[in-house]
Amino acid sequence: MKIEDFADKKPAFILEQFFSGSLRGWGVTLGRLGSFQNRFAIEAEGRWDAAANTLALREIYSFDDGQVDTLTWTIIKRGEGKYEGRETLIEGLADGEQSGNAFHWRYHRNVPSEDGDKAKFGFDDWFFLHDDGNHMTAHASLTKLGIEFATLSAFYERVA
């Protein structure tokens, strides 16, 4: 897939609009060969600062095994459809592009495990906005040493 493939798709996914406010979500992780790994719920809260072109986003992932992973993002809009992000467990910067109803996000993150260790994964995330702009699906490919290790599929909704 290429981000340009979504240029004419509606509604437009404006990251700072969708992620401003409260969100909740649900998803599953599938292993490399398609085996079920886990389910998770997401609680998120975002705040857009137009003067600084910055989105502060906190996502809390609660997995069915009791593990919790909190991501605290600072996302900067660098231009039309261009974003970069920082998060405490990311190496360097996350790189994002938006076009039409899609957003593509790439980064490397040290993911905490149950035993407290961390494993570095590459993330290749795609987000797709639906209907009235209150629902979004996400698909993430997690890689290690260039090999896909797992995929995540999630559904988000804005909370009124």
- ω into 112 cis (within 30 of 0): no
Burial of 127 (0-12, 13-18, 19+ CB in 10 A): buried
72: β partners: 58
Average pLDDT on 21-48 reads 96
Question: What are the chain's domains?
Answer: 11-159 (2.40.128.20)
Backbone angles phi, psi at 58, to 5 degrees: -120, 125
pLDDT digits (tens, 9 = 90+) for 55-104: 999 999 999 999 999 999 999 999 999 999 999 999 899 999 999 999 99
Give whole-number Cα distances, 96 to 41, 100, 130, in Å: 23, 14, 19
Mean pLDDT across the chain? 95
Predicted pLDDT at 3: 97
Predicted pLDDT at 41: 98
Average pLDDT on 16-35 reads 96
